[in-house]
Structure 1
Amino acid sequence: MGVTRSFFIALSKNQALNSGAKKWGLKLGAGKVVAGTDINSMMQSVKELNANGIGATIDNLGEFVRTKEEAIQAKEAILETLEAIQVYGVNAHMSVKLTQIGLDVDFAFCLKNIQEIVAAAARYDIFINLDMEDYAHLQQTLDILEALLKDYDNVGTVIQAYLYRSEKDIENLQNVRLRLVKGAYKESEEVSLQDKKEIDDNYLKLIKIHLQSSGYTSIATHDHHIIEEVKAFVKEKNIPLNSFEFQMLYGFRTEMQKDLAKEGYSFTTYVPFGQDWYAYYMRRLAERPQNINLALKSFVSK
């Protein structure tokens, strides 16, 4: 399993394959987990989610940004999506990768871009979540978040449970809306837990810490064991249902998503879309290699 995970993560970082993937369209099974390549098709998916009492956090996919021109194009696409959320009147907010808008190009340039995005979102009363990427980008992401929080309250980020430093980061962000995840990147044992049980235990610990803070908590997991433990914990501690939500990825455990919403829990689905779907899809295969069967069937049927 470890070799397979490493294999797909390596593929996700291959820029040549990413360029080729744009020509394939949503083949290889990606159409099951990516909500289209354009705003209109994505919005139809969001409307269907809303009809089932489910909100959306929209990710306009894009990676391998190495120039200011590419970053500006990505920023404009995100601003266009924000406007579409307003025009379509859907229950949705946005998730943004800072590398997509220039973090690897220039820190100050990236900060200016995200400030423009968060300001536009604030005018529409839309929340912006700064996606957490690999460990190499973690501190810069938190530095940008700190700068944004001086002027805006419609922004938060992601904390990954497999990192040793995450508990301290959560303590520093008690009043901030956070999405808590186990973690999807391959990190060294110097900075992250490697054992699944240890990661799960730490994930639950971090969830419980933030649930008892004043910051809104997004619990992003497909693990029904953890979901059941969270349900029991919030009941025991009388934690208001409007202070947290469950999140899952688009295309995964769709019936459970609907069931949780029907049970009265706030629920948000992470909805990725766009031409640059390749790296995202490879990371999903790295997390769940059994999905390779789906990918192969889809490819052969084309």
Structure 2
Amino acid sequence: MEAISKKFFLHLSSSSVLDRLAKKWGPKFGANKIVGGETFEEAVPLIQDLNSQGLHITVDHLGEFVSSEKEARQRAQECIQTIQMISSHQLTSQVSVKLTSLGLDIRHDVVWENMIAIMDEAQKHDVVVTIDMEDSTRTEKTLEIYKSLKERYDNIGTVIQSYLYRSSEDLDDLSSYDPYLRLVKGAYKEPGKVAFVEKSDVDENLKHLIEKNLLNGHYTAIASHDDAMIEFTKAFAVENNIPTDQFEFQMLYGMRNDTQMALLKEGYKVRVYLPYGDDWYGYFMRRLAERPANVSFAIKGLFKK
């Protein structure tokens, strides 16, 4: 049933008709409960409120797969302005970016120049930038760009997905870079030749990645709503004397709010992934596909006053 649900939500995520409807009617149906606003300016008061509760943030301007160099450079400038506003408003926030929105599928020089411009500004304002991971056809290019940037900048991280067979070897390859990594299960439709099909295998591989990265001494963000994964991480850290300042838990805005606050009270660092923009539909469907149990969290979040 879970496999069927995942395929169902991934299929919905690719519907251009539903995407257009979502952009038009999203606010009326509670999209603001999962998205910080249509612009970063709208998200600032929300971030300030979340910060006041002790939560850290990473923001992501929704949208990907741009087809023109002009649009890619516009996206880069928008990201730079976001970094500047994070600094000017003294927000406790990082920035997440998708390379396809910055020209990855256009030309290497476009995405590279855009990332250099973003990282120069981020370094100036001491803001961490995380390169989101997209589908498996772009994994190698994404990691190569990350490694090249890591040689220049300390304030950059990326994402490893546990449903890919290659991920454990990728951790080994990245270890010498002292990487800042967000570990996730993965939320794209992937063929069985590159990704685990069974949820149990994905879960076990995520545990393996968490163990490996923590034991290697690297900072680790565990991005999961799964109670079992959270408890596993907590127990593993205690058993292996891993300090709590070597890892954090990350969750989506609008989901598992009570769990977020409970972890804070226990002394753990919690970061909320806060997207903004009107292109929220595909993002939301992939989150539901990633873990169908998110449906219940989403419904409660959407209609909770």
**TM-score (normalised: structure 2):** 0.92
Counterpart of 1:265? 268
Deviations 1:33-75 (A, max 9, x none): 1111122321122112211211001101112411111111211
Instruction: Report the Cα distance in structure 1 between the residues aligned to 2:265 and 2:66, rounded to whole angstroms.
Output: 40
- Count residues in correspondence: 300
Partner of residue 193, structure 2: 190
Unaligned runs of 5+ in 1: none
Q: Does 1:215 find its partner at 2:222?
A: no
Alignment map for 1:60-71 (pairs within 5 Å): 60-71=61-72
Task: Confirm or deny: 8 A CA contact 1:182 1:199 kept in the other structure.
Answer: yes
Q: 1:242 aligns with which of 239, 242, 245?
A: 245
User: Structure 1 258/292 Cα, relative in aligned 2: closer, same or farther at 3 Å?
Assistant: closer
1:295 positional shift: 8.0
CA distance in 2, matches of 1:20, 1:41: 22
Q: CA–CA distance in 2 between the matches of 1:210 and 1:295?
A: 30
Structure 2 SS opposite 1:26: helix
For 1:145-204, what per-residue CA distance to the aligned partner results, in whole angstroms no more than 9, with x for missing partners?
A: 111112111111000011111001011122100000011112111011111111111111
Local SS of the residue matching 1:271: strand
Number of the residue aligned with 2:57: 56
Residues 29, 295 of structure 1: 8 Å contact kept: no
Q: Which moved more, 1:130-139 or 1:234-243?
A: 234-243
Structure 1 residue runs of 4 or more that deviate by more than 4 Å after TM superposition: 288-300
Give the alignment partner of residue 203 of structure 2, picking from 186, 200, 204: 200
Letter paired with 1:203: L
Q: TM-score, normalised by structure 1?
A: 0.92
Q: Is the contact made by 1:28 and 1:298 (CA closer than 8 Å) also made in structure 2?
A: no
Give runs of aligned pairs for residues 137-216 of structure 1, distance below 5 A: 137-174=138-175, 175-216=178-219
> Aligned pair in 2 of structure 1 residues 80, 25: CA closer, same or farther (>3 Å)?
farther
Select 2:235's aligned residue among 229, 232, 235: 232
**Residue in 2 aligned with 1:253?**
256
| Distance change in 2, residues 1:157/1:120 (3 Å) | same
- What amino acid is the match of 2:53? N
In terms of mean alpha carbon deviation, does 130-139 or 142-151 score higher?
A: 142-151
Which aligned pairs between 1:42-53 and structure 2 lie closer than 5 A?
Answer: 42-53=43-54
Take 1:176 and 1:101, find their aligned partners in 2: how far apart are those partners? 22
The 1:124/1:297 distance shift into structure 2, 3 A limit, reads closer
The structure-2 alpha-carbon separation of the partners of 1:83 and 1:282, relative to structure 1 and needing over 3 Å to count, comes to same
1:19-34 → structure 2 map (5 Å cutoff): 19-34=20-35
Contact 2:185 2:290 in 1 (8 A): no
Q: Check conservation: 1:28, 1:296, Cα contact below 8 A.
A: no
In 2, are the aligned partners of 1:65 and 1:99 still within 8 Å (CA)?
A: yes
Identical-residue share of aligned pairs (%): 44
Compared with structure 1, are the counterparts of its residues 149 and 195 closer, same or farther at alpha carbon in structure 2 (3 Å cutoff)? same
In 2, distance between residues paired with 1:7 and 1:233? 34
SS of 1:143's equivalent?
Answer: helix
Equivalent AA in structure 1 for residue 4 of structure 2: V
Range with greater deviation from structure 2 (6-15 or 198-207) = 6-15
Cα deviation 1:249-272 (Å, max 9, x = unaligned):
111100110111111111111010
1:101 matched to which residue of 2? 102
Partner of 2:39: 38
